[in-house]
Amino acid sequence: MLKLFVGNKNYSSWSMRPWVLLRQAGIPFEEEVVRFDSFDADSNFKRTISSVSPTAKVPVLVDEEMAIWDTLAIAEYVAEQYPEKQLWPLDKSARARARSVCAEMHSGFTGLRGNCPMNIEASLPEVGALLWRDKPAVRADVQRLVEMWSGLLAEHGGPMLFGAFSIADAFFAPVCMRLKTYALPLPQAIADYVQRVHDLPGVAAWIAGALAEQDFLDFEEPYRLKR
């Protein structure tokens, strides 16, 4: 069976992507949560993850003796192993577009990601309002998301970005969590898509796990001193 190593569900956006992909697609896997204590070389987290991945980061997917440690690589591997799940769109053009937007997520949106770290348990609308006022990079990233998602939803008819659930929706699920946590302003059609992602069974299961953790890690909390 596949084994997926993830970090804290409340904070680890990269871990969320493959976990939601596997869970929502109904692909069986064993979960190994390695909770963050620190990211120092001698931390329990680093010691544990470095034993399975050369990058010492999460997520890591292990299939027998083989480790896959990048989210895009994990998604591609799972799509190849389970072609019947149709995790990429079947149409060649749509498939290329889906890969493009996933790659854009993988390497971009640094304004949103840097200023609005994922924190599922928190509700930070006041912080979001200040960031929206003071951080043009956040506004630019949200505008790009609105343009991208609006075009894809219109082209493919929804309810997900390429019609049915795909890798693209899993990749943007942590972004949807950020948009909700910080209550960033969105057109209604995009807010509706964010809510549909939030309500997916795989995403709902991840959120439930995040809320159950009850961890408060100060190095992951730029905006709060306590829960």
Segment 178-204 mean pLDDT: 98
Give me the residue label for tokens 């075009």.
Answer: 151
- The reported pLDDT for the residue numbered 148 is 98
pTM (two decimals): 0.97
End-to-end Cα, the chain, rounded Å:
36
- What percent of the chain is modeled with pLDDT above 70? 100
Confidence of residue 84 (pLDDT cuts 50, 70, 90): very high
184: region left, alpha or beta (phi > 0 left; psi from -120 to 50 alpha) = beta
**Rounded to whole angstroms, how far apart are CA atoms 114 and 92?**
33
Residue 63 phi/psi, 5° resolution?
-125, 105
Query: 198: Cβ–Cβ under 8 A, 6 or more apart, which residues?
Result: 176, 177, 180, 204, 207
Q: Classify 193 as helix, strand or coil.
A: helix
Confidence of residue 76 (pLDDT cuts 50, 70, 90): very high
- Long-range Cβ pairs for the range 115-118 (8 Å, 24+): 116/178, 116/181, 116/182, 116/184, 117/11, 117/13, 117/178, 117/220, 117/222, 118/10, 118/11, 118/12, 118/13, 118/16, 118/174, 118/177, 118/178, 118/181
Segment 94-118 mean pLDDT: 97
**Rounded to whole angstroms, how far apart are CA atoms 178 and 131?**
12
Name the strand (E) or helix (H) holding 192: helix 188-199
Segment 10-36 mean pLDDT: 98
- The reported pLDDT for the residue numbered 137 is 98
Confidence of residue 30 (pLDDT cuts 50, 70, 90): very high
Segment 80-109 mean pLDDT: 98
Query: 220: Cβ–Cβ under 8 A, 6 or more apart, which residues?
Result: 8, 10, 11, 36, 117, 119
Segment 17-42 mean pLDDT: 96
DSSP state of 31: E
What domains, with CATH codes, occur in the chain? 2-85+213-220 (3.40.30.10), 92-207 (1.20.1050.10)
- The reported pLDDT for the residue numbered 90 is 97
- The reported pLDDT for the residue numbered 83 is 98
| Torsion sign (Cα): 134, 138, 144, 150 | negative
- The reported pLDDT for the residue numbered 215 is 95
Confidence of residue 98 (pLDDT cuts 50, 70, 90): very high
